[in-house]
């Protein structure tokens, strides 16, 4: 199993292959549909995004509130195709990778290819397991969205699978 530290760099992406199991460590940002819509509105209005997008990693997740004594509640992936309308623009701004669930559309695959980025799949239904990888959580934007606000997570050994990289796509295997 391969271990990668985020933010991801181009050399690491060049050495990834579809189907590889990877353990991610470093900073990821959670963002779902409503947060993506707000980020798009910000970009259209000439405003900055709530985090540095270059080489960043977005996790399509809306973590549940933390139980007493825990950092985070369940933190499972959301269906990635729900962000297909927003993802190409973010990849074109330098987004390094995304973590989600299920296939992505052709426009997203083309954006991944032209930007030498990567799409990782996380296991749906494993939100409690994934939460064990979270070392810290800080809400950084759109607090009115509750669980769907943008959060910065520090993770260690978060399990994912390479789903789309270069012109390889796990969903066509």
Catalytic: 36? yes
The per-residue pLDDT for range 138-159, each reduced to its tens digit, is 999 999 999 999 999 999 999 9
Report the alpha-carbon distance of residue 12 to residue 35 in Å, rounded: 28
Nearest residue to 89 (alpha-carbon basis) of 37, 26, 147, 141? 37
Q: What is the pTM of this model?
A: 0.95
User: 173 pLDDT exceeds 70?
Assistant: no
The per-residue pLDDT for range 31-42, each reduced to its tens digit, is 999 999 999 999
Which residue reads 């399509």 in tokens?
A: 60
CATH number at residue 141: 3.20.130.10
Nearest residue to 124 (alpha-carbon basis) of 84, 161, 165? 161
Query: How many C-beta neighbours within 10 Å does residue 126 have?
Result: 16
The per-residue pLDDT for range 15-67, each reduced to its tens digit, is 999 999 999 999 999 999 999 999 999 999 999 999 999 999 999 999 999 99
Catalytic residue among 36, 38, 101, 109: 36
**Overall domain count for the chain:** 1
Averaged pLDDT of the chain: 94
* Domain range for 110: 2-172
């Amino acid at each position: 199993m391969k271990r990668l530290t985020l933010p991801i760099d181009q050399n690491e992406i060049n050495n990834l292959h579809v189907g590889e199991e990877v353990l991610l460590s470093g900073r990821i940002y959670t963002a779902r549909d409503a947060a993506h819509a707000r980020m798009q509105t910000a970009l259209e209005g000439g405003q900055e995004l709530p985090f540095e997008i270059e080489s960043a990693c977005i996790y399509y997740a809306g973590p549940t509130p933390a139980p007493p004594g825990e950092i985070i509640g369940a933190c499972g992936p959301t269906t990635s195709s729900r962000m297909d309308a927003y993802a190409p623009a973010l990849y074109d701004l330098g987004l390094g990778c995304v973590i989600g669930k299920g296939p992505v559309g052709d426009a997203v695959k083309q954006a991944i290819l032209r930007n030498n980025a990567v799409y990782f799949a996380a296991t749906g239904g494993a939100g409690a397991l994934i939460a064990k990888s979270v070392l810290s959580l800080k809400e950084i934007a759109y607090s009115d969205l509750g669980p769907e606000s943008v959060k910065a997570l520090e993770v260690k050994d978060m399990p994912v699978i390479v789903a789309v990289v270069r012109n390889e796509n796990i969903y066509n295997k």
